[in-house]
Each structure stands twice: as C-alpha cells, then as structure tokens.
Amino acid sequence: MKNIAIFASGEGTNAQNIIDYFSKSEKVKIALVLSNKSEANVLNRAKKAGVPSLVIDRFSFYDSDNTIEKLKSSNIDLIVLAGFLWLIPESLVKAFPNKIINIHPALLPKFGGKGMYGMNVHKAVIGGKEKESGITIHFVNEKYDEGEIIAQHKCRIGEKDTPEMLAQKIHQLEYEYFPKAIEMITA
C-alpha cells in the first residue's frame, strides 16, 4: 500500500477528485491532506472523506523539520501538490527525492513560474494568443514549475474562448489525467 499526502491551499476540487478516485484502491491510500490555510475548503473535504489533515504555518514548513517529520511518521510514499501555492523548500525536496509531483494548468515550460497559478495562467495563455493549452504533471524541485515533466495533456483554444472557458477545459483535463498519473507513479 502506497501512502499519499495531498498538499492544497484552497477549494480542493483536485484533491477531492484524487480522494474519490483512490477511495476503493487496494494499492493507494490518501493518508494525509496538508494545507497552509486553516480556512481552506480542502480541509472540510478531507474531514468528510475521513482523511487526516494538518494545517502548517511558514515556520514549520520552511524553518523546521516539523513537516518532514510528520510526513515520515505517516509513512508517506508520495506527495501530491494539488493547488498548493507555496514553493517547496529544498529540505523537503531532499527528504522526498522524486516523490513530490505537481500539476500545472499550462503546457510548461511556457506560462510557469512564480505567480503563474489559477486564472493568472489562463489570462496569460489567452493574452498570448495561444492555439492550445493543457496540463503538465511534473516532479517538483526547488524552483517553481521546473521539475522533470511526467506527462502533458492538451486542449484546443477556440477563437472566442475566455480565460474562464479555458479554465473549465483545463479542469476537465486535470480531473481525468491527474489520478491516472498518480496511479502510474505508484504502480
């Protein structure tokens, strides 16, 4: 059994999708949901699903080993970032080498980096007159959106698509492909 920790900062729709996908799995268990925001709805989703959760602050994440110790004591095999907005510290990357993955709502290396999340990405893609966008699932290193790419999935952008319309297309790709990528990595 592979134990997964999901890190999320907000609503938690991707986290919910992952929890649901693996709810009956005999190979993968969502063992922990971690958030940097005590008011994040992802914590309510975790509670309803019976998944333990943890709220962290900047000190415990960046200036101590508290987070690493909690992950290790929970026997975490893979960390999944699902809308987690803090940069992962080098100490955590080193403690879990090639065991932290992220999903980005664009085709990296374009439209990645600090500040490129959520609607910011979709506005930049539409503003850049791109013909397609998509998702990138990648390993995490010490820099935003620069880790080795695991998979990319694309969608067309219509001439009249708005950032909100693009966001819906991206969410559909995330819901379909992120759990499958996790399943492949944990196999």
What residues act catalytically?
104
Q: In 3D, which of 92, 73, 93 has the Cα closest to residue 32?
A: 73
Q: How far apart are CA 132 and CA 126, in angstroms?
A: 9
Q: In 3D, which of 92, 167, 68, 76 has the Cα closest to residue 122?
A: 167
44-52: long-range contacts, CB 8 A cutoff, minimum separation 24: 44/12, 45/12, 45/15, 45/16, 45/19, 46/12, 46/15, 46/19, 49/16, 49/19, 49/20, 49/23, 51/19
Cβ(14)–Cβ(175) under 8 Å?
Answer: yes
